[in-house]
């Protein structure tokens, strides 16, 4: 069975949550005829060994996913991690070794590298945001639902590997009342009344506001958390003061490494951003082949 030398305490969601994405990736590559090139050139009994390396500096996330890609093709492939998940690596750093039937290594290479590069890229972008705040008392950096369809669980894991935290995973684990919900209900009070009748006592309820007037109305209705959307810095400072001891504050809108420091300095509890998942570049990672002795 495929194995990984575990070096990190980071917890990846169960494969049941993300296995379908890996299978889709392999099916997309293999089609109905399989790997024509590898199957024609490589003998079925040939063993191989390869090294996974970062071709530019970044943060590592996704080595357990590499394990599963190869496991789906051939359970005898063994992956050994050489670095922790969530660790910073320099360009040229070795990330893992992969050893087993050569056909499986060659056939799974692109799918494994696509996923690994994507997740390392998300982790690297998240770390850039965390570093840009640079204060021990900083707010948490949290991600959004602006993820690649089918990869949400993995991309949110990569955010954690980069030092960030997760906002809600989907529409079913928290309530976030936005402007369109309020418009559809005919007002915030009515929207909140309907929510409180419907959801259980353990479900968090947050309201998105665009102005200080909207914020004061939400606070008067006893909301537990507010999403301060696209507030100017002066208004954000004022909002934090209004919410102190009354509601959790989350700043959102236009967050990037260039802007997050000033937003964090306002004293908000959370800074939420889709930047790590919708704007991250894949980290360039490669698989360098060696023949088994």
**Does 175 share its domain with 270?**
yes
Q: Are 284 and 91 in contact (CB under 8 A)?
A: no
**Does 265 share its domain with 171?**
yes
What whole-number distance in Å separates Cα of residue 75 and Cα of residue 69?
Answer: 10
User: For the whole model, what pTM was predicted?
Assistant: 0.92
pLDDT at 11: 80
Judged by DSSP in three states, 285 sits in strand
Identify whether 10 is part of a domain: no
Identify whether 165 is part of a domain: yes
Structure tokens at 24: 């889709």
**Does 180 share its domain with 263?**
yes
Our answer to whether residue 178 is catalytic in this structure is yes
pLDDT at 197: 93
**Domain ranges, residue 186:** 132-278
What whole-number distance in Å separates Cα of residue 152 and Cα of residue 154?
Answer: 5
Our answer to whether residue 208 is catalytic in this structure is yes
pLDDT at 2: 40
Identify whether 106 is part of a domain: yes
pLDDT digits (tens, 9 = 90+) for 65-92: 999 999 999 999 999 999 999 999 999 9
Taking only the tens of pLDDT, the chain with its 293 residues reads: 344 444 445 788 888 889 999 999 999 999 999 999 999 999 999 999 999 999 999 999 999 999 999 999 999 999 999 999 999 999 999 999 999 999 999 999 999 999 999 999 999 999 999 999 987 667 999 999 999 999 999 999 999 999 999 998 999 989 999 999 999 999 999 999 999 999 988 888 999 999 999 999 999 999 999 999 999 999 999 999 999 999 999 999 999 999 999 999 999 999 999 999 999 999 999 999 986 55
What is the C-alpha R_g of the chain?
A: 23
Q: Choose, from 23, 49, 56, 110, the residue flagged as catalytic.
A: 110
Q: Choose, from 51, 88, 138, 146, the residue flagged as catalytic.
A: 146
Q: Choose, from 51, 80, 178, 246, the residue flagged as catalytic.
A: 178
Structure tokens at 204: 């968090």
We report the CATH number of the domain holding residue 183 as 3.20.20.70
Structure tokens at 210: 């665009």
pLDDT at 136: 63
Q: Choose, from 99, 206, 229, 250, the residue flagged as catalytic.
A: 229
**Does 145 share its domain with 209?**
yes
pLDDT at 135: 75
Identify whether 4 is part of a domain: no
Q: Which residue from 253, 196, 255 is spatially nearest to 222, judged by alpha carbons?
A: 196
**Does 274 share its domain with 259?**
yes
Q: Are 139 and 250 in contact (CB under 8 A)?
A: no
Identify whether 143 is part of a domain: yes
Identify whether 260 is part of a domain: yes
**Does 28 share its domain with 142?**
no
Our answer to whether residue 156 is catalytic in this structure is no
pLDDT at 291: 64
Q: Choose, from 35, 99, 208, 250, the residue flagged as catalytic.
A: 208
pLDDT digits (tens, 9 = 90+) for 212-221: 999 999 999 9
**Phi, psi torsion values for 89, nearest 5 degrees:** -130, 150
Please give the tally of structural domains in the chain: 2
């Amino acid at each position: 069975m495929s194995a990984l030398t575990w070096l990190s305490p980071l917890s990846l969601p169960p494969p049941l949550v993300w296995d379908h994405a890996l299978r889709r990736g392999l099916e997309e590559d293999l089609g109905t005829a399989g790997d024509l090139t590898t199957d024609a050139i490589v003998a079925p009994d040939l063993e191989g060994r390869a090294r996974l390396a970062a071709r530019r500096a970044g943060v590592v996330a996704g080595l357990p996913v590499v394990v599963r890609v190869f496991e789906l093709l051939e359970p005898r492939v063994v992956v050994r991690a050489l670095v922790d998940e969530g660790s910073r690596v320099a360009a040229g750093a070795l990330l893992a070794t992969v050893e087993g039937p050569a056909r499986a290594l060659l056939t799974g290479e692109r799918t494994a590298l696509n996923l690994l590069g994507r997740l390392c890229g998300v982790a690297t972008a998240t770390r850039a945001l965390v570093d840009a705040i640079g204060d021990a008392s900083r707010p948490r950096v949290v991600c959004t639902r602006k993820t690649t369809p089918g990869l949400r669980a993995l991309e949110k894991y990569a955010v954690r590997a980069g030092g960030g935290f997760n906002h809600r995973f989907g529409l079913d684990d928290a309530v976030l009342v936005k402007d369109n919900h309020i418009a559809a209900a005919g007002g915030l009070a009515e929207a909140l009344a309907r929510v409180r009748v419907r959801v259980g006592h353990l479900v968090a309820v947050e309201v998105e506001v665009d102005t200080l007037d909207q914020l004061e109305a939400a606070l008067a209705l006893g909301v537990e958390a507010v999403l301060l959307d696209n507030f100017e810095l002066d208004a954000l400072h004022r909002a934090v003061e209004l919410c102190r001891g009354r509601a959790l504050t989350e700043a959102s809108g236009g967050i990037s490494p260039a802007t997050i420091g000033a937003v964090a300095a306002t004293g908000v509890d959370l800074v939420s951003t889709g930047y790590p998942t919708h704007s991250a570049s894949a980290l360039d990672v490669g698989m360098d082949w060696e023949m088994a002795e």
